[in-house]
Structure 1
Amino acid sequence: MDLDLQGDLIKHPYDAYRHLRDTAPVQRIAGPTGEPAWLVTRYDDVRSALADPRLSLDKANAAESSYRGLFLPPALDANLLNMDPPDHTRLRRLVSRAFTPRRVEALRAPIRRTADRLLDALGTEGRTDLIAAYAAPLPITVICDLLGIPDDQRKDFRAWTNELISPDPSRLQGAKQAGGAMLAFFAELIAYKRRHPADDLLSDLIAVRDSDGDRLSEDELTSLAFLILGAGFENTVQLIGNALHVLLSHPEHLARLRTDPSKLPEAIEELARYEGPALLAIRRFTTEDVTIADVTVPAGETVLLSLSAANRDPARFPHPERLDFERDASGHLALGHGIHYCLGAPLARAEAEIALAALLERFSSLTLTDCEPRWRPSLRARGLLTLPVEYKAAQPIA
């Protein structure tokens, strides 16, 4: 089957994935820059492959002709998404303390204050783009606060990541420029935090590097900061934005959450399954010949695991095209599985819950003003460019 990547897997991914699950659950395709890759679409196969140690994230295991994913400068490429154990285990342990349930619980009040401040700026009624005004600035503020990035050093991070995730080969130069700009930013930021350490995650990571240099190299420090920032807001922007779009497209479900907001945590799991923040997991490379669904993928080749196709697999989730808040959506793969499961998942869930609760409390009326969604041009990220709405407050703001 020949797939038009720009059309099939960006504009209409679920139709393409449904066809592949039924006819070719492990399909060889051309990656965005022309190199070959294997696309896996069934739930059981994707979940098993996510935890298979024979599928490596280390680019050193990729054949010369294989698709290798995003272009990044070497100092940013030395991150957890390009590592296997034992290096992955060591670095993940260093940063995991920032996302413990206790730490996330302590962040809930500041997250709510940020949400309320953003909603205050909207006033009592009007029109806005909820991505630009709310779904994007909330997670960016949260992760910048966590890392300790001063207000005057915060940049338009999404402009950089938009360039990095673009599947258009003609924009490779833009991706290189974005990567260079991000590297310069983090080099300056780390130098600043060395001069001005504080009670924040980046200062903690710098202290580990400075006191025990053989545990955290300079490139590891820089790439960790890059990954925490990028992953810390990208997935959450898309989780919140997609959830809002789905709810506004299903007013009966929106009304149920208004009536009983205690259902929000369970609803977020179903919303993540239904329209998660990523189409694909990070690309993987076979370290030996690996058989998936009776198809043998040779050593050194690239495997793309479709999280969104797995989450719409009727063999795992009956009637998967139906949004159902009574469904047990546990086991969805929207935030990954195995040792590379999203480290910031507890924080992303908390932000989504708080963001939706604050918005529903504030506005009694929320209506889409453009029902044709505009998705980001990416094979991996699943997120909206805009979410135009008309809104009206439940009551005057005191």
Structure 2
Amino acid sequence: MTGQPDTAAPPRPSSAGALFDAAFIANPYPGFAALREAGPVHQITLPDGAKVWLVTRYADVRAGLADPRLSLNKANGDGSWKGFSLPPALDANLLNMDPPDHSRIRRLVRHAFGPQRISRLRPKIEVAAAELLDRIAPNGEADLIAEYAGPLPVRVISDLLGVPEADRAAMRGWTDVMIAPPADDPRAGGRAIMELQDFLVRLIAEKRRNPGDDLLTAMIAARDDGSDDPGTGTDTGDGSDGDRLSEEELTSLAFLVLFAGYENSVHVIGTGLLALLRNPEQLAAVREGAEPSPAAIEELLRYEPPGTVALRRFPLTDLSIGGVTIPAGATVLLCVATANRDPERFAEPDLLDVRRPDNGHLSLGHGIHYCVGAPLARLEAQIAIGAVLRRFPGLALAVDPAELAWRPSFRTRGLSSLPVTF
């Protein structure tokens, strides 16, 4: 038995305002579907005025994610992309790199999110989830974003990186402001970025003085010792500079782990719980196990991806996608949200089915840029969602779904709050 489809009226594909207004942010899927049905590629104007090419169909999005002719390096853009601006010390990360630099850094950190390190986090995630639920249980109601889905990933990422307890609240505050700066303070996001950068520089210096059993210490070893195995700290390189992280790459990588690990997990947990609460039969199916099955987690990722579009890309040459020629240097957005609900790939794509047998969703990417933190994201969602459902059998939304507040971004799919009763 499957869930209920989205029924909101789709905006006109040609209307930029309709594409990015509040109704679209609350439920982008009908609007994205209208674009997908109208054609495989559209040139649209973003709210910041940038013109981009949006790719809408599964086959094209999947191919684009792995196409080496689509560069992540902003130097290959024509300058029209505005996007998220970071200082150089935070910008030298995997999300802005092509091979060979991407391959080198990915190799250096390939064990950091491997099964051994991630499996060691399971008990810590379970304890953190239980402690957070203990705090809210006596109240009979809660905002599961502010009181659970938000603080839980902070604890997990902080444990992974070795962030001291005293710094975690500030770290979450800076990250929240970066994701959604207050409307009345447009410079707040920039200040938060600089504060987070300063914090990471200080934390790296402290880890050099006092190494620990954490990922940041392992990454410092990759920077200082030339190790290509941060999971063990073993020096398997030849010690040359070519086998090492630069200082900017080290700081940027720490930033990426922190930022992506926090933001994506908050969204996956929050929207996953909401999807289940809005589909009682699917919720009942998930409750049959001790925790959500791997198939259920994959379906929640497909149904509500944390990012509606993949990271922007820039064609290295004039490129044909879906029969449309896109000029070199233009900005290409591969729309994961439309691809994940493409009827050419998925049966009844707008229905939630936690037993879906064939789930090749693209929420975590594809090809060489596949999410390096995917094992952690899956484990964290499985534990976090399962813990809430076990603890609160009477869990229910406290407001009408139409009243829920969403993060004001078309690029990410996340709730600002999730009021519930239990």
Would you call these one fold, judging by a TM-score over 0.5?
yes
| Match in the other structure for 1:238 | 267
2:387 maps to which residue?
358
Q: Corresponding residue for 1:80?
A: 94
CA distance in 1, matches of 2:190, 2:77: 21
The Cα of 1:251 is off from its aligned counterpart by 1.6
Matched residue, 1:18: 33
Give the Cα separation in 1 of the matches to 2:326 and 2:184: 29
> What letter matches 2:413 in structure 1?
R
Kindly state the Cα deviation for residue 349 of structure 1 after the two structures are TM-superposed.
0.6
How much does 1:211 deviate? 2.6
With over 3 angstroms needed to count, the CA separation of the structure-2 counterparts of 1:39 and 1:159, relative to structure 1, is: farther
| AA partner of residue 386 (structure 1) | S
Change (3 A) 1:167 1:339: farther
TM-score scaled to structure 1, two decimals? 0.93
1:98 CA displacement: 1.6
Mapped contact 2:181–2:189 kept (Cα < 8 A) = no
**Corresponding residue of 1:177:** 191
Pairing partner for 1:2 from 15, 32, 39: 15
- CA distance in 1 between partners of 2:292 and 2:193 (Å): 40
Moved more, 254-263 or 198-207: 254-263
* d(CA) in 1 for partners of 2:40, 2:297: 28
Answer with 323-332 or 343-352: which moved more: 323-332
CA distance in 1 between counterparts of 2:358 and 2:171 reads 32
Distance 2:184 2:40 in 1: 30
Structure 2 segments unaligned to the other structure (5+ residues): 1-13, 227-239
Aligned-residue offset at 1:260: 3.2
Matched-pair identity in % = 54
- What does the per-residue CA deviation read over 1:261-304, in whole Å, with 9 as the maximum and x for residues that have no partner? 46522111111111111111111111100101111000000001
Which shows bigger deviation, 22-31 or 55-64? 22-31
TM-score under structure 2 length normalisation: 0.88
Partner of 1:387: 418
Do the aligned partners of residues 189 and 234 (structure 1) sit closer, same or farther apart at CA in structure 2, a change above 3 Å counting? same
Match of residue 65 from structure 2: 50
- Corresponding position of 2:230: none
Matched, 1:36 2:51: yes
Letter in 2 for 1:92: R
- Partner in structure 1 of residue 158 of structure 2: 144
- Read off the aligned partner of 1:255 and give its amino acid letter: A
**TM superposition shift of 1:165:** 4.0
SS of the residue aligned with 1:365?
coil
Q: Which moved more, 1:260-269 or 1:183-192?
A: 260-269
Equivalent of residue 252 in structure 1, options 281, 286, 297: 281
RMSD: 1.9
1:330: how far off? Answer: 2.2
Equivalent of residue 137 in structure 2, options 123, 137, 143: 123
Contact 1:31 1:37 (8 Å CA) reproduced: yes
- Residue 335 of structure 1 corresponds to 364
Aligned to 1:62: 77
State whether residues 86 and 193 of structure 2, in contact with CA within 8 Å, keep that contact through their aligned partners in structure 1: yes
Q: Which amino acid aligns with 1:62?
A: G
Contact 2:407–2:413 (CA under 8 A) maintained in structure 1: yes
| CA distance 1:131–1:173, change in 2 (3 Å) | same
Q: Do the aligned residues in 2 keep the contact of 1:55 with 1:284 (CA within 8 Å)?
A: yes
Deviates more, 1:6-15 or 1:360-369: 6-15
Read off the aligned partner of 1:130 and give its amino acid letter: L
Contact 2:286 2:354 in 1 (8 A): no
In structure 2, give the amino acid aligned to 1:12.
N
Asked whether the 8 Å contact 2:291–2:382 carries over to 1, the reply is: no
For structure 1, which segment, 143-152 or 102-111, has the greater mean C-alpha deviation from structure 2 after superposition? 102-111
CA distance in 1, matches of 2:198, 2:364: 29
Higher deviation after alignment, 291-300 or 108-117: 108-117
Q: Is the 8 A contact 1:71 1:164 kept in 2?
A: no
Deviates more, 1:38-47 or 1:99-108: 99-108
The separation in 2 between residues aligned to 1:348 and 1:342, in whole angstroms, is: 9
SS of 2:89's equivalent in the other structure is helix
Cα distance in structure 2, aligned partners of 1:144 and 1:302: 34
Task: Decide whether the 8 Å contact of 2:154 with 2:168 is kept in 1.
Answer: no
The 3-state SS of whatever aligns with 1:122 is: helix
Total equivalences in the alignment: 390
Q: 349, 368, 389: which is aligned to 2:397?
A: 368
Asked whether the equivalents of residues 26 and 295 of structure 1 are also in contact (C-alpha less than 8 Å), the reply is yes
Structure 1 runs of 4+ with >6 Å offset: 167-171
Q: What is the CA-CA distance between 1:162 and the residue it aligns to?
A: 4.1
Q: In 2, are the aligned partners of 1:270 and 1:329 still within 8 Å (CA)?
A: no
CA distance in 2, matches of 1:303, 1:27: 10
Separation of aligned partners in 1, 2:53 and 2:310 = 13
- What is the 5 A alignment of 1:202-221? 202-212=216-226, 214=241, 215-221=244-250
Matches of 1:43 and 1:157 in 2, distance apart?
A: 36
Alpha carbons 1:32, 1:167 under 8 Å: kept = no
Q: Determine helix, strand or coil for the equivalent of 1:37.
A: strand
- Rounded to whole Å, the distance in 2 between the matches of 1:272 and 1:178 is 29
- Gap runs ≥5 in structure 1: 392-398
CA shift in 2, pair 1:93/1:187, >3 Å? same
